[in-house]
Amino acid sequence: MKDLIEGALKFMQEDFKEHAELFESLKNKQNPHTLFIGCADSRVIPNLITNTGPGELFVIRNIGNIVPPYRVGDDFLATTSAIEYAFNSLHIKNIIVCGHSNCGGCAALYANENDLKNMPNVRKWLTLLEPIKNKVLKVAKDDLAMRSWMTEKMNLVNSLQNLLTYPGIEEALNKKEIELHAWYYIIETGEIYEYDFSFENFVLIQERIKKV
């Protein structure tokens, strides 16, 4: 905790002053251009990997960077409500769903029931990926490496599909008023792959830029 307090003091005394003009411009409102939906994993830092500053990204983070299908419910729908807000109130122009290598959330999908006995809400959350698990096991079986990267990538494609169930998003996409992207981040190399809708596979992001 001491390190965190010292970091906060450094921000107030040094870093904030360096960007004081920017923070002054943000004091009354935000106008982010992109909704970034990422994993809660501490190794994935949205502003770092996108080289963006305060006010540019509206960020949602959860276990496994999962986008659930749209629904209106009586319980507390944190991810769903945040997507609603970003699209309808902030009018973001891009949505990026970012997954990553060695995802603990995706790995937990295959854990024994006893491993999650003290985490009932995590267990319930991961049931959203049960259809993916069933498909992966038919192919990967006991190959743990294949199982991991297949689950992580299929989860991203599934989240893109689920985004289209949110009112207005598919219409905005067809009108080219919004862009949807799925990124797969390799932690140990820093490489980012993006899903190519045309070829239905992931390619290095610099290759995607060449095609634009």
Residue 84 vs residues 23, 165, 169: alpha-carbon distances, Å: 26, 11, 10
Are residues 70 and 80 in contact, defined by beta-carbon separation less than 8 angstroms?
yes
Residue ranges of the annotated binding site for Zn(2+) are 39, 41, 100, 103
Bind-site residues: 39, 41, 100, 103
CA distance 97 to 87: 14
Between the alpha carbon of residue 104 and those of residues 73, 126, 139, the distances in Å are: 28, 11, 21
Phi, psi of 89 (to 5 degrees): -105, -45
What is the distance of C-alpha 59 from the center of its chain?
A: 8
Q: What is the CA radius of gyration of the chain?
A: 19
